[in-house]
């Protein structure tokens, strides 16, 4: 007869403790396969338990397949493997803490401290009080948010799009995944070289084949693109990161012609285009696309906060139909609360106010950085370029040191640098000795220190 | 000389209006390629504008590649294609509004009205007031949330996992995508048949090959699995949707042995396992995995709200290393605000309180639905099964009508039904005439109407 000391059960319910005791005996082999368990009544009397307690334990054992019932005969032990040793906890690789830098010129994130957090919090409280944050939204995203995005694109980028064309997603990387799935497996995607490495990484992980196309001063060369065999091209025609290149109107027209003739897709990634310091915003390629070949995409991670993954894409009619047919089953990945708040942040004008303030702020910051560098001991050995937009500029250094040596030297001094060569898929000599100086997080009060540290890094 | 009526500019700045006029003339061919623009001073005098205004317009035209500068000679028109006609807006397929049903037995969503929205809103306000919702988080997700999830898994599922093993993501579908990328292209994934069709859809879209394996009453047959050539298996051993099958301990051991021998991966998808009405929760397969072959995953969409896409996976050590090496570049897709709130919702005990309340609620709801059906005119023609857990049970109908006829008849009466056959990858006779009755949203006051409508649907 099964005998267990029910006093040892601690805080467990009686039935659960009994279930655990019998389970242990089955797993250890003390109760062999085919053996019959005592009847509920017998065991209950033996252990001074209620029949209901034994019933509960037997039911759980049966549900998990430790025992099986034969009508009118009772419960029998199932064949299971004996597991003498308890599982040993395996070694878990620990997470590396993010290193702390004295100066970080590599992070291209906007300065979060300038974000109107109070306004955002107020709008969030508003949505919370209305209780609509638990309702479900269409798979393409909250309609009010898509309307607000369409309005913003119309007012500030000269684009005429319908909310129906917009798909909301949890950041650029997620949208790249959807696009890779939409284009289909093995699609050859032309990407800009140099370019943001994550674009190549995500497409590669999603089964697309990336063909890096070298950029010249006008953008991607349509002849090289045509020869590449690509049927899709991922471009940043309005402000390329990190070279700052703006694709000229002649090139835009030629790229669109390529897409029409090849029935190819152009993905216009408008990352980092908001902070243009002189003149008006560059009109989107999408706005001159008469044949529905351009997908426009952008994210709010850069302009609002990287802590909120929110982006969107605008699909041309034919691709929209394919999206709904093939990928329409995907639920929207952005929480409804954030979608409501962003819709109000956009339609209330707070977003463009914020951008306008930040453009001034970053322009001042950029001017201060350039002035400090031009007054530094290394001024005679550097040339600047691409400083018209974005939160970075290029700094070409006259040096005999290679990029890797410079990088290590900098890290030894607590300085994190980014090099143009890191963005290249195919290394070329013209990329060497060129720093991508991301000054978005470089507050004025840290400029003197930064210049002094860079002087040491650049010394030979 | 270029002559434009500056009075027609509306609210545009002068420089922008001038830029638009010249751009229009270049695109129409009125200004031909190679033509020289008047000097800034000459045009300024001619149009009674300041030189700075003309400079602004020329700079914008140059930035966009409409004109180019020759040193000391001025600006010249670039070759561009003439675009006589303005782009016609293409027809956008409209979104179909979600149909409104009198009775919806297909939606497997929990009843959102019972969610403690006030508590959630209070915790959200708390996080907002602390201002930490704009800081960035590690790529695997907020550490405090991963700790809270690890604690919950330990307390309520008997699992020992470290927060380092946990990856937070924007819902189950997104996590399926990451897993497909982690397993690698062309991986053959065994899936349960019948089973949740989205699992097959997502894996398929991510380049994996799905092999449906028929389920028997104990779960997936390891012999059939071994013969399938799969190197991964996606399982719901603790409560399969929609059949309710619990994989027996014998099968669990055999499945683990298969994974060890084949060096295969088992994905334990614990969707819908929280609402078990009798006995204790079924221990996770992950908790008896001594060789690190099991990925455990679950989502809060079902238990909290589908409007918040939040899920997580627990990676065994070897896969965790591979994840960090190959996919560690992906930023976390869940906003930081929701991560903080969920962490507090879990560690404050609100989550398990909510589950415990809902288990009672759903148990009562299920009993009421079963009682009403058993007292209905169709009682003699139906048999119920799998009513021990989840928010659904199976109802097998003795009928001469096929599933499609039943479905259409129901829709005509405003009733939305789900059939077991819809979950089958390979149709089998045993799946026919079986409804998946999702009663989560069926309030008691609507039971009489529902029964009357079903009586009409089931009549022959």
Q: Which of B222, B228, B319, B309 is closest to B267 using CA atoms?
A: B319
Q: What is the mean pLDDT of residues B426-441?
A: 89
The residue whose two tokens read 């614990």 is B270
Whether B212 contacts B426, CB under 8 Å: yes
Chain A residues inside the 8 Å CB shell of B56: 279
Residues 6+ apart with CB under 8 A from B357: B114
Tokens in use for B433? 């005439």
Mean pLDDT for the stretch of residues B205-228: 95
Nearest C-alpha in A relative to B335: A308
How many angstroms separate the CA atoms of B83 and A79, rounded? Answer: 78
**Domain with A34 in it:** 6-77
Strands B265-269 and B232-235: parallel
pLDDT of residue B88: 57
Looking at beta carbons, which residues of chain A come within 8 Å of B253? 80-81, 83
Cβ distance of A164 and B93 shorter than 8 Å: yes
- From the list A124, A185, A250, which residue is nearest B128 (CB)? A124
Torsion of CA A371, A372, A377, A379, to 10 degrees: -30
Measured between alpha carbons, how far is A243 from A224 in angstroms, rounded to an integer?
A: 19
Q: Which residues are CB-neighbours of A458 under 8 A, at least 6 positions away?
A: A378, A381, A397, A399, A406
Interface test with A, best of B28, B63, B216, B321 (most A CBs within 10 A): B63
- Angstrom CA distances, B157 to B117, B238, B286, B297, B352, stand at 25, 11, 10, 13, 12
CB A92 to CB B283 under 8 A?
no
Mean pLDDT of chain B: 91
Q: What's the average model confidence in pLDDT over B311-317?
A: 97
Nearest Cβ partner for B280 among A16, A117, A138? A16
Chain B residues closer than 8 Å to A15 by CB: 279
Nearest to A198 by CA among A184, A218, A180: A180
Q: How far is CA A122 from CA A125, A129, B82, B133, in A?
A: 5, 11, 49, 13
- CB contacts, 8 Å: B337 with chain A: 124, 307-308, 337-338
Note whether A78 contacts B250, CB cutoff 8 Å. Answer: yes
Query: Taking Cα atoms as reference points, which of A425, A455, A429, A423 lies closest to residue A106?
Result: A423
Which of A121, A181, A248 faces B205 most closely, judged by CB atoms? A181
- Burial label for B460, CB within 10 Å (0-12, 13-18, 19+), is exposed
Q: Where are the alpha helices (DSSP H) in A158-280?
A: 172-183, 197-205, 222-227, 249-262
Q: Which helix (H) or strand (E) is B260 found in, with range?
A: helix B249-262
Residues A316 and A360 in one domain: no
- Chain A residues touching B80 at Cβ < 8 A: 249-250, 253
Residue B82: Cβ within 10 Å count? 11
Nearest to B194 by CA among B426, B438, B433, B396: B426
For residue B146, the surrounding DSSP H or E stretch is helix B143-157
Q: How far apart are CA A144 and CA A125, in angstroms?
A: 18
Lookup: tokens for B371? 């009682």
DSSP 8-state class, residue A325: I
Residues A196 and A328 in one domain: yes
Q: Structural domain tally of chain B?
A: 3
Distance of CA A188 to the CA centre of its chain: 22
Query: Domain with A317 in it: what CATH number?
Result: 3.40.640.10
Interface test with B, best of A80, A134, A142, A147 (most B CBs within 10 A): A134
* Residues of B in Cβ contact (< 8 Å) with A290: 85, 87-88
The 10s digit of each residue's pLDDT in A100-146 is 899 999 887 777 778 899 999 999 999 999 987 888 889 999 999 99
Q: Are residue B359 and residue B312 in the same domain, yes or no?
A: no
| Measured CA distances, B216 to A39, A163, B197, B213, B224 (Å) | 28, 47, 18, 10, 11
pLDDT band at B389 (very low <50, low <70, confident <90, very high): confident
Q: Is the pLDDT of residue A444 over 80?
A: yes
The span from the CA of A222 to the CA of A211, in Å, is 13
Chain B residue with minimum CA distance to A129: B121
Kindly state the percentage of chain A with pLDDT values over 70: 98
- Pull the structure tokens for residue B241: 């949707």
**Residue A8's pLDDT is what?**
83
CB pair distance less than 8 Å for A250 and B129: no
Owner of token pair 């929609």: B242
Q: Which of B81, B205, B290 sits opposite A327 (nearest CB)?
A: B205
Evaluate whether B370 touches B363 at the Cβ level (below 8 Å): no
A299 assigned to some structural domain: yes
Q: Taking 90 as the threshold, does the pLDDT of residue B424 lie above it?
A: yes
> Is the Cβ pair B288, A87 closer than 8 Å?
yes
- The helix/strand/coil state of A250 is helix
In our burial notation (b when 16+ CB lie closer than 10 A, e otherwise), range A293-315 reads: bbbbbbbbbbbbbbbbbbbbbbb
Chain A positions in Cβ-Cβ contact with residue B284 (cut-off 8 Å): none
Residue B421: both structure tokens together: 């056959």
Q: Count how many Cα atoms sit within 13 Å of the Cα of residue B92 in the half-sphere of its side chain.
A: 15
Contact flag B280-A19 (C-beta cutoff 8 Å)? yes
ipTM (interface pTM): 0.90
**Burial (CB count within 10 angstroms: exposed 0-12, middle 13-18, buried 19+), residue B182:** buried
Average pLDDT over residues A85-93: 65
Confidence (pLDDT) at B39: 93
CATH number of residue B377's parent domain = 3.90.1150.10
Q: Which residue of chain A is at minimal alpha-carbon distance from B16?
A: A280
CATH code, domain carrying B12: 1.10.10.10
Residue B436 has pLDDT above 90, yes or no: yes
Query: Which structure tokens are listed for A184?
Result: 């289909």
Assigned domain for B96 exists:
no
Are B282 and A63 a contacting pair at CB < 8 A?
A: yes
- Give Cβ neighbours of residue A452 (< 8 Å, ≥ 6 apart): none
Q: Is residue A303 part of a domain?
A: yes
The per-residue pLDDT for B399 is 92
Q: Which residues contact B398 (CB under 8 A, 6 or more apart)?
A: B381, B382, B433
- On whether both A151 and A297 belong to a single domain, the answer is yes
Query: Do B128 and A121 count as a contact with CB atoms less than 8 A apart?
Result: yes
Last residue of a domain, one of B287, B321, B348: B348
Handedness of CA B364, B365, B370, B376 (dihedral sign): positive
- Mark yes or no for CB contact B337/A336 under 8 Å: no
Radius of gyration of chain B (CA): 31
Token pair, residue B430, equals 């045993």
CA B205 – CA B180 distance, rounded (Å): 9
- Domain contains A82: no
Helix (H) or strand (E) holding B447: helix B447-458
Mean pLDDT of B16-42: 91
> A150 with A275, same domain?
yes
- Chain B partners of A257 at a C-beta cutoff of 8 Å? 81
3-state SS assignment for residue B189 = strand
Q: Residue A389: its pLDDT value, please?
A: 74
Q: Quick check: B316 and B294 in contact, CB under 8 A?
A: yes
Q: Is residue A91 in a domain?
A: no
Query: Taking 60 as the threshold, does the pLDDT of residue B213 lie above it?
Result: yes
Report helix, strand or coil for B379.
helix
Listed in order, strand segments (DSSP E) in B315-411 are 382-385, 392-397
Nearest by CB: A90 against B78, B109, B292: B292
Asked whether the beta carbons of residue A66 and residue B249 sit closer than 8 angstroms, the reply is: yes
Residue B228: DSSP 8-state? T
Residues in chain B closer than 8 A to A305 (CB atoms): 134
Could you tell me if A160 and A258 lie in one domain?
Answer: yes
CA distances from B109 to A35, B49, B132, B394 (A): 43, 65, 31, 16
Chain B positions touching A137 (Cβ under 8 A) are 307
Helix, strand or coil, per DSSP, at residue B396: strand
Domain end position, chosen among A321, A348, A375: A348
Coil, strand or helix at B242: coil
What whole-number distance in Å separates Cα of residue A155 and Cα of residue B64? 19
The residues, ordered by sequence, that sit 6+ positions from A416 with a Cβ below 8 Å of its Cβ are A99, A101, A103, A104, A105, A106, A107, A410
- A91 CB neighbours in chain B (<8 A) are 317
Higher pLDDT, B298 or A157: B298
- Inter-chain contact B135–A185, Cβ cutoff 8 Å? no
Same domain, A372 and A317: no
Q: Which residues have a Cβ under 8 Å from the Cβ of A356 and sit 6 or more positions away? A: none
Report pLDDT for B215: 93
CA B210/CA B200 separation, integer angstroms: 6
| Chain A residues whose beta carbon lies within 8 Å of the beta carbon of residue B177 | 177
Structural element, H or E, at residue B166 = strand B166-169
- Over range A160-165, report the average pLDDT: 95
**B346 close to B150: Cβ distance less than 8 angstroms:** no
The answer to whether B305 contacts A134, with C-beta atoms less than 8 Å apart, is yes
Q: Average pLDDT for residues B155-159, to the nearest whole number?
A: 84
- Contact A137/B63, CB-based, under 8 Å? no
| B36, B137: one domain | no
Is the domain of B321 the same as that of B428?
A: no
Q: And the tokens for A435?
A: 């720093």
CA A131 to chain B, closest CA, distance in angstroms equals 8
Name the pairing type of β-strands A294-299 and B232-235: unpaired
Q: Is the Cβ pair B134, A218 closer than 8 Å?
A: no
Q: Check pLDDT > 70 for residue B121.
A: yes
Q: Do B80 and A250 lie within an 8 Å CB cutoff?
A: yes
The predicted pLDDT at position B87 comes to 55
Cβ of A334 within 8 Å of Cβ of B170? The answer is: yes
Q: How far apart are CA B88 and CA B86, in angstroms?
A: 6
Last residue of one domain, picked from the residues A348, A376, A392 = A348
Residue B118 lies in a domain: no
Give the nearest partner residue to A95 out of B63, B138, B330, using CB atoms. B138
Residue B152 has pLDDT above 60, yes or no: yes
Which residue in this structure is represented by tokens 């470089």? A442
Tokens of B130: 């602390």
- For β-strands B434-438 and B392-397, DSSP reports them as antiparallel
Query: Among residues A285, A337, A277, which one has the least CA distance to residue A124?
Result: A337
Taking only the tens place, the pLDDT of each residue in B55-67 is: 999 999 998 899 9
B165 shares its domain with B311:
yes
A86 pLDDT exceeds 60? no
As beta bridge partners, residue A75 has A69
Residues A329 and A421 in one domain: no
The answer to whether residues A169 and B334 touch, using CB atoms and an 8 Å cutoff, is: no
Same domain, B380 and B422: yes
Would residue B92 count as lying in a domain?
no
CB contact under 8 A, B305 and A138: no
DSSP secondary structure code for residue A6 in this structure: G
CB contact under 8 A, B65 and A336: no
Alpha helices in B51-167 (DSSP H): 51-63, 117-130, 143-157
Furthest-apart CA atoms within chain B: distance in Å:
97
pLDDT band, very low/low/confident/very high, at B11 (cuts 50, 70, 90): confident
Average pLDDT score over chain A = 91
Q: Quick one: pLDDT at residue B84?
A: 59
In a domain, A120, yes or no: no
A278–B59: do the CB atoms touch at under 8 Å?
yes
pLDDT confidence of A88, banded at 50, 70, 90? low
C-alpha to C-alpha distance for B138 and A97, rounded to whole angstroms: 9
Distance from chain centroid for Cα A392: 21
pLDDT class of A84 with cuts at 50, 70, 90: low
Measured distance CA(B72)–CA(A229) in Å, rounded: 42
The structure's pTM equals: 0.91
């Amino acid at each position: 007869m099964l005998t267990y000391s029910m006093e040892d059960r601690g805080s467990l319910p009686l039935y659960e403790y009994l279930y655990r005791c019998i389970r242990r005996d089955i797993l250890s082999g003390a109760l062999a396969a085919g053996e019959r368990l005592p009847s509920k009544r017998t065991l209950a009397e033996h252990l001074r338990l209620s029949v209901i307690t034994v019933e509960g334990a037997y039911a759980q054992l049966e549900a998990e397949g430790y025992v099986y019932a034969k009508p009118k005969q009772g419960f029998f032990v199932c064949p299971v493997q004996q597991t003498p040793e308890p599982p040993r906890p395996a070694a878990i690789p620990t997470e590396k803490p993010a290193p702390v830098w004295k100066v970080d010129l590599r992070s291209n994130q906007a300065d979060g401290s300038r974000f109107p957090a109070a306004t955002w919090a107020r709008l969030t409280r508003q949505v919370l009080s209305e209780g609509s944050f638990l309702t479900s939204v269409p798979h393409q995203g909250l309609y009010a948010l898509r309307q607000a995005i369409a309005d913003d694109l119309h007012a500030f980028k000269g684009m005429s799009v319908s909310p129906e064309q917009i798909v909301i997603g949890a950041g650029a990387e997620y949208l790249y995944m959807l696009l890779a799935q939409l284009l289909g497996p093995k699609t050859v995607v032309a990407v800009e070289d140099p370019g943001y490495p994550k674009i190549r990484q995500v497409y590669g992980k999603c089964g697309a084949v990336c063909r890096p196309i070298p950029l010249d001063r006008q953008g991607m060369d349509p002849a090289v693109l045509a020869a590449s065999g690509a049927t899709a091209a991922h471009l940043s025609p309005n402000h390329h990161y990190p070279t700052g290149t703006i694709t000229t109107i002649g090139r835009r027209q030629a790229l669109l012609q390529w897409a029409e003739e090849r029935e190819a897709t152009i993905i216009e990634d408008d990352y980092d285009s908001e902070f243009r310091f002189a003149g008006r915003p560059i009109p989107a390629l999408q706005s001159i696309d008469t044949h529905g070949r351009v997908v426009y995409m952008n994210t709010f991670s850069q302009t609002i906060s990287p802590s909120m993954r929110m982006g969107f894409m605008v699909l041309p009619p034919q691709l929209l139909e394919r999206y709904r047919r093939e990928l329409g089953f995907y639920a929207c990945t952005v929480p409804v609360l954030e979608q409501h708040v962003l819709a109000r942040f956009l339609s209330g004008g707070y977003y463009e106010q914020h951008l306008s303030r930040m453009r001034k702020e970053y322009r001042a910051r950029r001017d201060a950085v350039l002035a400090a560098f031009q007054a530094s001991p290394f001024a005679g050995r550097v040339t600047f370029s691409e400083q018209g937009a974005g939160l970075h500029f290029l700094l070409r250094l006259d040096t005999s040191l290679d990029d890797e040596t410079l990088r290590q030297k900098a890290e030894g001094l607590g300085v994190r640098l980014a090099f143009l060569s890191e963005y290249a898929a195919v290394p070329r000599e013209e990329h060497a000795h060129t720093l991508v100086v991301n000054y978005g997080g470089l507050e004025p009060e840290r400029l003197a220190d930064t210049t002094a540290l860079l002087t040491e890094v650049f010394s030979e």
